[in-house]
Structure 1
Amino acid sequence: MQHTRPSGGPPLGGRDAGNPDAGRLALLLDFAFLLLLAAALSRYLTHHADSPWIPWVIGLSTALAVAQPTASWLEHRRPAAPDRPRRWPVALVVALWVVLVLLAPSFAWCAVPLIYTGLRALPAKAAIPLVAALTLLVVIAEIRLPGTADATLVLLPPAVAALATGVFLFMARQAARQRALIADLVRTRRKLAATERREGTLAERERLAMEIHDTLAQGLSSQQMLLQAADRTWDTDPATARTHVRTAAEVAARNLAEARRFVRDLAPAELADGGTLDGALRALAGRESAESGLPVRFHLDGTPVPLPTAVQSALLRIAQGALANVREHAGASAAAITLSFLGDQAVLDIADDGQGFDPSAGDRRASGGARGYGLPAMRARLRQLGGTLTVESTPGEGTVVSAAIPLEQR
């Protein structure tokens, strides 16, 4: 990134167009210019009352009094393109002033506001030579004044011009650096906002994926299993088949309620209308026992404390997902849900006596398999709440999934 403007670049003050402070400074310099112009004209008329050039001097002074403020107004209100500075207003003002100085040297001190006009409207490679030329003309004019043979008149104009030019260039470069920093800040803020939007979109997408997996997908999986069982026993045991179909219909009804709740606010239906987490887990264990034939018992350890809705929802979804894994993959004969309040944390354990597995191998399959979304989804839910997920399993010895959420942060 380049902070300073090259010598042949746009006008040094061109980007200040429309800046209220720059406009006020330009107005002040125009006022000073008009005062200097009026003082020089008054002096000329007083000391040269019989000069034949009076009409020319008055006419040129009037034209200059109009041209200088007009050029300043154009530069401030209607700036030219940065790569194509408007040179003719400055050229016109300087030309009128040069003719006046040649006719009457006392107009030389009007050069100070003109220096600012040139620096503001022109690029440095044109403005600095112009300032040097104006300064030289002022020195010549001062020397031409009768009775003013003084060395200070030769040294003072270059000193004033150098000081004015140096201060202006310094301030212009400082302003350019500030504009560049502000532009960088704006770009960085926009990039940060875009990144936050992307991260928010990804987080929302992950959240929706978890909700769909823990509600609709699991419900459809249960319905599929029940309907397949009904199909297998339809001819040999119609009563059992009808029971499976009725159970599948009940699952579909609950799934529909979940879907509607999902559309409204993504809160589990079991926790709606003041439901408690331990009550929802106890109901989940009962349903799982009735529908899948897998005995699931629920145990509450400790004294329940109020939990935020997000925590209750996450723990219930984790329990649903863990039981779905037990039902589909574990080959277990029994399972247990334990909700423990341990003072500083709430812990949910889902244990089964199934075939077990190697947790590290399961994670590797989960990262690339279509059926392995359960555990990563559980971990993602807990990570958002500052909790942790632990999976303890050994092939042939069952599995325990443990979800812990700190209470002190809630």
Structure 2
Amino acid sequence: MFAKGQTVIQLMEQLAPKHLAVPDDRIGLQLGSLQKEITHVLIALDVTNEVVDEAIRIGANLIIAHHAIIFRPVKSLNTDTPMGKLYEKLIKHDIAVYISHTNLDVAEGGMNDWMAEAIGIESKESLEDVHTDHLFKLAVFVPHTHHEQVLQAILEAGAGSIGQYNKCSFNTEGTGTFVPGEGTQPFIGTEGQMERVEEMRIETIVPQSLRSKVLQAMLKAHPYEEVAYDLYAMDLKGRTLGLGRLGPLKQPKTLGELVEVVKAQLDVPYVRVVGDLNRQIKKAAVLGGSGSRYTLPARFKGADVIVTGDIDYHTAHDALMAGMCIIDAGHNAEKIMKPKTADWLRSRLEDKRYDTQVTASEVNTEVFQFI
């Protein structure tokens, strides 16, 4: 059985939820339809003619890419233009295109974590916070007979995390009263009569990102026809996620040694370097894509070097004067997302016993030639 397009994207958004994207980022479905069975997914960094030809060759009818194919508003769809021809080819072959960009960058276990792990950064923190998961307090009243069932359903859905502690809750006993109204079918009690039930009050913490999932799990496990529960916002902040990663290297290296690690682990033949190649690097920052505006913030947070792409001339001079090293590995270094995303999505589809295939694109979309 093949997964529906919406199912594939629901799984993808478990890795990179859309709400993590920075404002106005071009993400989500950009072309085609998800209202169909997906036989084969192609994971790509960019959507080029060569990538679309690859999708046609392997029979893929969904491309999940990192970079948008519609970045600016389209005023007309002229199929005589290069981009118009690309859109036409995708439509004629019924290939949908879905974009996961800054939400994949920000996501825990996503682009910037992959890049950080590849070059040996540990104890990672964000370079720039962009999303804080607001916390809610959930209190629900449950009969003794179903207390453990409802508690485990809530906690398994992701509630109860406080810092590094998981499945936290507080449980108190009490007596609940209610009168089942006309036409009700109460689990306990009789229509029109006051009922007193020994109940448990379960209290726990729910992050906003998991609120719907936790409530659905609670309602499904709860025996009552009408579930009594409270959900209210808290002043406490939950987990914060952001762009870029920063942390100490597992093993300090010279800048020259780190350059070789970057080239090997990110599969880039050349890099541009700012700084003394003999300088000892103890703390490093990484940011996929264009990182010019993050060089000095990385230095402010204690990084000796930032590994990123698309550094402009004047930013490089500013960094050098500030004592900050740069390894510009280019925008195409983000191709690390192709095998990582493919492996992640393939595993989830296999767990659900779908026959949908997932392939990492083998097309090199590096636009620059080094001569």
Comparing both structures, which one devotes a greater share of its residues to helix? 1
TM-score by length of 2: 0.19
Comparing both structures, which one devotes a greater share of its residues to strand? 2
TM-score by length of 1: 0.18
